[in-house]
Amino acid sequence: MNRKQGFTLIELMLVVIIISALAAMVLPRLAGRSEQARTAAANADINANIATALKLYELDNGQFPSTSEGLQALLTKPATANTWNGPYLEKEPIDPWGRKYEYKSPGQNRPQDYDLFSLGRDAQPSEDDINNWN
């Protein structure tokens, strides 16, 4: 008797059901992680990477870049910088959503130095913004 080897339709359906059940349990846990990662990256940029570059600029020049000079002053020497030792950043600071970080000096929320923030996912001033004053 010659019997062919292979899977039956019922065995294949059981495998599909098991994989579907596993996916139904795992996917909801992973759904919000990418947005959390973007928020964490923006926080790291604002509170560490760009903040360090701004502090180095301030140490060299005695003041932070003006609002009009912006973060571009960390990449190319502005006319007002006397002892510029940059570039202080390797590339233009872009937030995880693909937009430039917002910079104001002196800041409205931190008048002693600067406001640095990202408008977050929605690109509008709202509670999803990431900033250096909260």
Instruction: List CB contacts of 6: < 8 A, sequence separation 6 or more.
Output: none
Q: Is 43 helix (H, G, I), strand (E, B) or coil?
A: helix
Going from N- to C-terminal start, the domains of the chain cover 38-131
pLDDT at 98: 93
Distance, C-alpha 58 to centroid of its chain: 24
Give the integer Cα–Cα distance in Å for 46 and 41: 9
Low-confidence ranges of the chain (pLDDT < 50): none
Could you tell me the fold of the domain covering 38-131? Glycoprotein, Type 4 Pilin (3.30.700)
Containing H/E element for 115? strand 115-118
pLDDT at 103: 95
Global model pTM greater than 0.75: no
Tell the burial category of 32 from Cβ atoms under 10 Å away from its Cβ (0-12, 13-18, 19+).
exposed
Q: Is 40 helix (H, G, I), strand (E, B) or coil?
A: helix
